[in-house]
Structures are given as C-alpha cells and as structure tokens.
Amino acid sequence: MSKSITYKHYLRALSRWPKDPLRPDCQFQDIMQKRIDRKFLPSKPKEGEDKPLVAPSAINEKAELEQVNALYSLLGNRYTQKYTLSKEFMKPASNPEHYTNLIKELEEAPTRSWWGNVLNRWKGAVRF
C-alpha cells in the first residue's frame, strides 16, 4: 500500500465522488482508481515469474496534488459558486421549461422500465 499523501487524497476525493446512475457500469471513480493505482502502487509480477515487484516511475507530487485539488474543487462546486448563472440563463425565451424538463428526464431515466422507455420513444415520435 502506498504511503503517499497524494495517493490518500486521491482515494478520499474519489470516495466522495457521486455515482452516475445513467452509466452504472462505467463509473468515473473506477477509471480514476485504476489510473492512480498504476501510478502509485508497485506492479505485481505475472504468474510464474520470479522477478521482484516493479516500483512505480518517479511521481511529480506537486503536479499530482494539483490534479487532486482540481477534483476537490469540482466536488465542492467551487466554479458554480464563483461563476453564478442568472435565473434567466436557465429559462431561455424559446423554451423556458427546457432545463427543468431535462433535469426531470435525467432523474427518471435510471429507474424507468423497458415499457416506460418504449412509451417515451413513441411520445417523442408522435407530436400534435
């Protein structure tokens, strides 16, 4: 196990990262975990090999801490707070309910049944 402070910060940030209900088989946390494990943990020899563990290449701790800081800034909604959007931005004149409907659809999609998906497809195809 790596004793690196950066590695521990990565693990902490990834443990707080929200799960993606739309793509449960491809989570950001899993992809990042593989990346940081490859970078920070020694690789194990293949079966049947007598070679010792291979140490990871030299790590630029400062650059990696900057990457972890970027993760934390996204987790803390730092940019949403710094660059706030006006209420009018979320209600375009051409379709004021667009973003409200989009958020509703994204929340309902993971729990919708197969039949619900078929009905939605037909509703979208047939408009009066």
**Structural domain that includes position 99:** 87-125
Residues 64 and 97 in one domain: no
Instruction: Kindly report the pTM of this predicted structure.
Output: 0.69
Summarised one tens digit per residue, pLDDT across range 23-56 is 889 999 999 999 999 888 877 666 766 665 555 6
Give DSSP secondary structure letters for 11-67.
HHHHHHSPP-SS-TTS-HHHHHHHHHHHHHSPBPPPTT--PPPBPPPP--HHHHHHH
Domain count, the chain: 2
Q: Encoding tokens for residue 10?
A: 């990565």
Q: How confident is the model at residue 66 (pLDDT cuts 50, 70, 90)?
A: very high
Mean pLDDT, the chain, whole residue set: 85
Residue 112, pLDDT score: 85
Q: Among 19, 24, 22, 27, which Cα is nearest to 112's?
A: 22
Q: Among residues of the chain, what percentage have pLDDT more than 70?
A: 86
Q: Among 97, 65, 79, 75, which Cα is nearest to 17's?
A: 75
Q: How confident is the model at residue 7 (pLDDT cuts 50, 70, 90)?
A: very high
Q: What are phi and psi of 20, to 5 degrees?
A: -95, 105
**Matching residue, tokens 């790596």:** 2
Residues 97 and 50 in one domain: no
Q: What are phi and psi of 54, to 5 degrees?
A: -95, 125
